[in-house]
Amino acid sequence: MKSVYIKLNEINDVYALVNTLVAYDGEVDLESGRYKVDGKSLLGIFSLDLRKPVKLTFHDSQNVDKLLDDLKPLVVDAPEA
Q: Domain limits at 28?
A: 2-76
Domain-located, residue 36: yes
Q: Tens digits of per-residue pLDDT, 62-78?
A: 778 888 999 999 999 97
Half-sphere exposure of 23 (CA within 13 A, CB side): 12
pLDDT, average across residues 26-37: 94
The tally of domains found in the chain comes to: 1
Q: What is the pLDDT of residue 81?
A: 55
Domain-located, residue 81: no
Domain-located, residue 9: yes
The CATH number of the domain holding residue 25 is 3.30.1340.10
